[in-house]
Amino acid sequence: MLDKMNKILSKVDADYADIRYEEKNETDISFSGKELKGIGENFTDGFVIRVLKNGGFSSVVFTRPEDADEAIKNAIEYAELMGEKSNKPVNLKDVEVVQDEYSPEMKEDPRKISIDEKFELLKKYNDLALKHEKIVNTDMRYFEMGRKRYFISTEGARIKEDLITTGIRGGLISSDGNIIQNVRLGAGGSDGFYHLRNLEEMIEKRKKIVVDLLKAKPVEGGTYNCILNPDLTGVFTHEAFGHFSEADIVEDLPALRKKMQLNNKLGNDIVNIVDDPTIKNELGYYKYDDEGVKSRRVQLMKNGVLTGRLHSRRTAAEFDEPVTGHCVAEDYRYAPIVRMGTIFIEPQNDSFEDLLKKLGDGIYVCDAKGGQTSGENFTFGAQYGYLVKNGKVKDMVRDINISGNLYKTLKNIRAVGKDHELSKTGGCGKGQTNIRSCHGGPHTIIDNLIIGGV
């Protein structure tokens, strides 16, 4: 395939061009309550070609090799038009030219597991979840996606890399009279089917939480000091901070770009934030991005100071900053954009018990439940929480919404735990869907969070 792609690329008359071909395999099984909603497999493939000419940069998608000439013609035409009409010509940062083939090590390759076995496993977990009189419905899904990517460029890059993602995710719904509650669950990864075995304990824990929520009181609205669990710490880091670290978000917003200048002091001294797609066996792992750039660890914040940013080759040239290998596409239908890989707050030295003592009185808030950001302000839902009195975890509370301002919140991070958990099922919907976007971190104390409630 790389040789066929090279023949296509040799026909391009441009300052730079690259072409990516992908074979995409998907498996999906889903239950709604006791009802099987769907089961099936799907295969698609296609090409995306990018062309830089006379300062214009364009991309064209095509699915049949015989359409390559037309795609090249259009891509060159669009690039020339963009170069002519744009006041800001595109440049690409120089990068190491890579020739490599890479397949991740698999512990139980999901492609070798029969769809019957996958179905039976999901059904077992779904049946287990329904074995409680207060649980009235479930939404359970097995998903699997394989992306076999081939990439070449006119600079000489030749790369083949496989990405295989598996997971089980869903929700449990409990009911008692007029009270209805729900929690989410998920497991999976990028290095094998083994992540999905032996999940009975996880299912039982989520069952207990969703049933206990029926007796929990709604939280009283107010301003609280809080401990965020690793999931919520990760969601805050991804949604409220991480997107502002993506260069294409800030480049055309002068006020935000000024605020997010490197070396600006934005957070408390204890806040260190990293994006690292090189961590093997984690959901967000990849070796090369969809521009053929080797991924690398990026220190985004050190001791509260902004020290790094995530880039494509184009944005790295625009900002005159190092390229990072964070330009990722959903699949062959899209040109890549700047995306987070695995973002997290780095752990410190406090145990969970230490954090409870430091908190004193407040709320222990657990697991994200949707949310949104508007500029530097954010609002997140939490699935559940617990009141904390004198450093002790007390009654469960529900109906929790967290609001705040990013920059004030970064400075209000008072303590960071020594534990460290990363998400097993990911997702980010910026422009395109990225199911491997990974986040996490330790337990974290944040002071003066606004909690919406009764």
pLDDT digits (tens, 9 = 90+) for 246-280: 999 999 999 999 999 999 999 999 999 999 999 99
The whole-angstrom separation of Cα 403 and Cα 452 is 8
pLDDT at 159: 98
The domains of the chain are located at 2-212, 217-452
Contact (CB, 8 A) for 239 and 368: no
Please check whether residue 441 is in contact with residue 420, taking contact to mean a CB–CB distance below 8 angstroms: yes
- Rounded CA-CA distance 439/265 in Å is 23
Say what the pLDDT of residue 381 is.
Answer: 95
* β strands within 399-443, DSSP E: 400-405, 413-416, 421-422, 438-441
Q: Domain 2-212, what architecture?
A: 2-Layer Sandwich (3.30)
Name the token pair of 315.
């944005």
* pLDDT score at 426: 83
| Token pair in block for residue 295 | 């991924």
Q: What are phi and psi of 267, to 5 degrees?
A: -135, 175
Question: Which pLDDT score is estimated for 16?
Answer: 98
SS3 content of the chain, % helix, strand, coil (to 5): 25, 40, 35
C-alpha span between 6 and 345 (Å, rounded): 42
Which residue positions in the chain have pLDDT lower than 50?
A: none
Cα 208 from chain centroid?
Answer: 27
Tokens of residue 75, six digits = 């891509």
Angle at 226 between CA 355 and CA 416, to 5 degrees: 40
Determine the pLDDT at residue 454. Answer: 74
Residue with tokens 């395999």: 25
d(CA 144, CA 425): 11
Q: How far is CA 405 from the centre of its chain?
A: 21
| pLDDT on residue 371 | 79
Report the alpha-carbon angle 376-379-382, nearest 5: 145
